[in-house]
Structure 1
Amino acid sequence: MLDHNQWLEARRKGIGGSDAAAIIGLNPWATPYTVWADKTGRIPPKEDNEIMRQGRDLEQYVADRWMQETGKKCRRKTKMLRCSDYPFALANVDRWVVGENAGLECKTTSIMNLKKFKGGEFPETYYCQCVHYMAVTGAERWYLGVLVLSQGFHTFVIERDEDEIQALMDAERDFWKYVELDAPPPVDGLDPTTGAINTIYAGDTEDGIIEIYGKENTVNQYLTIKQRIKELDIEKERIEQQLKEELQLYEKGICGSYQINWKGQKRRTFQVKDFAKDHPEIDLDRYFKTSEFRKFEIKEAK
């Protein structure tokens, strides 16, 4: 059985179930670019945290609860799986259901995600992961057991759909070409991609200036959008001013089907400079966090 570090290294050699949703744009915390950067070793693996640890530690509990809820049996499957039809796809499944051509995915999530399970719904990321596993294993269905901490336990079943599997595998195959070519997928303007780019190109920079060819229209587009955003921010502020004039000293106002709030609030802030002036004998340097980053801007060349 692989330890956690060996598992992280092995999953870089193919697309895992947890990568599937990001590749097709359904994961708010990851994008095709971040998955590519991870697979090609350009960014470090995600640091282990308490949420991830609880998910691993409670996996057996979720499996036990699922067996109690359904009356079915399941067993652990520790081997990382591949199939010849989709050699780029990996499956590290949580459990295999005894007596069925089916698997079980065990999930633990926070109470903050409770609303995602209203009316028999569940997150799209879970669905993509289960479809991915059915593609790799050939399973007829995939079960899902979800523990919402301190709130309840949910069970779902996803039946095999060949069209869904083919669509996902086609997208994964196209994505894997970027990994094989060591060339990044198109950027998308999303925060995770920005974070990955900033990580990849952090650190020591090169001296001098490079010539960027064929991107003048892109630069003009950037500057035009930046100006439009500035104008829209001013327009938004003007409208807000109009509505504040209507509210005057009232905290709430009704306008058709909308309620407008302008409530008084208090915020306490620590005045570092004043404290340092009053207590010059205390060294405050160790309380400051230093962050390194690269500032991006465009200006007229001289």
Structure 2
Amino acid sequence: MTAGSVTQRARHAPLVLVETANLSRNEWLAYRRRGIGGSDVASIFGISPFRTARDLYFDKLDIASVEEDEGNWVAMEMGNLLEPLVAKIFAKKTGYKIYQIKKMFYHPLYPFMLADVDYFVKLPDGTTAILEIKTTNYNARDSWWLDGAETVPVYYESQGRHYMAVTDIDRVFFCCLYGNNEEEVIIREIRRDYAYEEEMIFLEQEFWDNHVLAKLPPPYWEPGNLIMESARRHFGAADPDAPVVELNSSMSAKLIRYLQLQEEKKNMEVNSKQIDKELQRLKGILVSEMGTSCAAVCRYGEVNYTITYNPVRKTGIDKDGLLRLKLQYPDIYEQFISTSEFRRFNVKASAVDAA
């Protein structure tokens, strides 16, 4: 059945893939690899701030696991620990009854679409809604507004709309805690959009059939920093002994475009953020093509090009290492630590006292 059948709006009941109450973390991840979950959709759309579509592909084939927010494990753990509290705040503020169903669901027509919902909401009119719990820091709360209007960040919106499609539920609430009291929460609601849903299902099916099942990695087209990080995770450290990579015609064209943009940037009087982004993206694509190799070559017209991407290593002590040194070997720490001094210049204005 094609994604276009969504527009018929026939109601359905989601099917249960597995009971999740007693699953270990590894077991839960193994079940999630059987399809596309709500938090996966942003990667397919290219709007995830954490991972690329290729990262998701690697994860589904169990080649390399990539957790969202894995660079900030403390924030992820805090989110898990605070989930029941944030849900309680939502229930208190709205007066709605909330409950959990410890099951992983899948769509009866598109079995690759999975949903593991945080909470369900019983509404006064007898209908059911979904509740997704989020946490963030005080500064990041601004992402819940767009040009002064209330909104849901796009990568969370895609998650909510995926869950609505799987469960056949028409409303999703988000409750996001950004402070340390019940007033510092954000509550948003989105309702079902069948046009969005149809396109979403089409893209999810294309990713699942043409990449995961076909074992064909999707191309990189995300921001350069995400591409570079993805390549680093997948390939690991540079190997000076790895053979030189010969770039194909497609990669050669990207290299020429990279050089053209570099020349444009030199001739511009004002720096262009758009050019910088495109340069970083093209660099990321070329680096990912090189893998662990430190050199790549190609010929374009009558010119031979050589790319080098050599590791630069330096030793040092990071903050955690310095703290361990201070705690475990305080005498050595005091012997080698140095103190520097600087002065901060500041101007402060105040009203003149009346005579």
TM-score clears 0.5: yes
Query: CA, structure 1 residues 209+153, in 2 after alignment: closer, same or farther (shift >3 Å)?
Result: closer
User: How much does 1:121 deviate?
Assistant: 2.1
Q: 1 CA distance for matches of 2:78 and 2:242?
A: 46
User: How much does 1:70 deviate?
Assistant: 1.2
Match of 1:158 in 2: 190
Match of 1:214 in 2: 249
Q: 1 CA distance for matches of 2:144 and 2:242?
A: 53
Q: 2 CA distance for matches of 1:153 and 1:172?
A: 32
Aligned-pair identity in percent equals 29
Q: 2 CA distance for matches of 1:200 and 1:67?
A: 42
Q: 1 CA distance for matches of 2:47 and 2:34?
A: 22
Q: 2 CA distance for matches of 1:214 and 1:294?
A: 19
Contact 2:238 2:294 in 1 (8 A): no
Match of 1:223 in 2: 259
Query: CA, structure 1 residues 301+24, in 2 after alignment: closer, same or farther (shift >3 Å)?
Result: closer
Contact 2:90 2:175 in 1 (8 A): yes
Q: 2 CA distance for matches of 1:226 and 1:219?
A: 11
Query: CA, structure 1 residues 58+296, in 2 after alignment: closer, same or farther (shift >3 Å)?
Result: farther
Match of 2:86 in 1: 62
Match of 1:194 in 2: 228
Q: 1 CA distance for matches of 2:141 and 2:242?
A: 51
User: How much does 1:141 deviate?
Assistant: 1.2
Q: 2 CA distance for matches of 1:208 and 1:125?
A: 39
Match of 2:301 in 1: none
Aligned residues: 245
Match of 2:113 in 1: 89
Contact 1:34 1:193 in 2 (8 A): no
Query: CA, structure 1 residues 56+217, in 2 after alignment: closer, same or farther (shift >3 Å)?
Result: closer
**Which is worse superposed, 219-228 or 192-201?**
219-228
How big is each residue's C-alpha offset from its partner over 1:4-27, in whole Å with a ceiling of 9 and x where there is no partner? 222223222211111112211222
Contact 2:244 2:293 in 1 (8 A): no
Query: CA, structure 1 residues 162+222, in 2 after alignment: closer, same or farther (shift >3 Å)?
Result: same
Residue 134 of structure 2 corresponds to residue 107 of structure 1: yes
Indicate which of 173, 185, 193 corresponds to 1:143. Answer: 173
Indicate which of 39, 42, 46 corresponds to 1:21. Answer: 42
Query: CA, structure 1 residues 131+301, in 2 after alignment: closer, same or farther (shift >3 Å)?
Result: closer
Contact 1:37 1:196 in 2 (8 A): no
Query: CA, structure 1 residues 202+231, in 2 after alignment: closer, same or farther (shift >3 Å)?
Result: farther
TM-score (norm 1): 0.72
Query: CA, structure 1 residues 164+187, in 2 after alignment: closer, same or farther (shift >3 Å)?
Result: same
How big is each residue's C-alpha offset from its partner over 1:99-127, in whole Å with a ceiling of 9 and x where there is no partner? 43321111111112122234422311221
Secondary structure of the residue aligned to 2:36 is coil
Indicate which of 64, 76, 79 corresponds to 1:43. Answer: 64
Residue 214 of structure 2 corresponds to residue 181 of structure 1: yes
Amino acid at match of 2:111: P
Contact 2:32 2:114 in 1 (8 A): yes
How big is each residue's C-alpha offset from its partner over 1:213-241, in whole Å with a ceiling of 9 and x where there is no partner? 43444443333333334444xx448xxxx
Q: 1 CA distance for matches of 2:264 and 2:294?
A: 21
User: How much does 1:204 deviate?
Assistant: 7.3
Secondary structure of the residue aligned to 2:120 is strand
Indicate which of 138, 160, 184 corresponds to 1:130. Answer: 160
Residue 31 of structure 2 corresponds to residue 10 of structure 1: yes
Secondary structure of the residue aligned to 1:81 is strand
- Match runs of 1:246-285 below 5 Å: none
Amino acid at match of 1:186: P
Query: CA, structure 1 residues 7+202, in 2 after alignment: closer, same or farther (shift >3 Å)?
Result: same
Contact 2:35 2:112 in 1 (8 A): yes
User: How much does 1:94 deviate?
Assistant: 0.3
How big is each residue's C-alpha offset from its partner over 1:121-176, in whole Å with a ceiling of 9 and x where there is no partner? 23112211110000010112112211112361122222222222112111111111
User: How much does 1:73 deviate?
Assistant: 0.7
Query: CA, structure 1 residues 147+208, in 2 after alignment: closer, same or farther (shift >3 Å)?
Result: closer
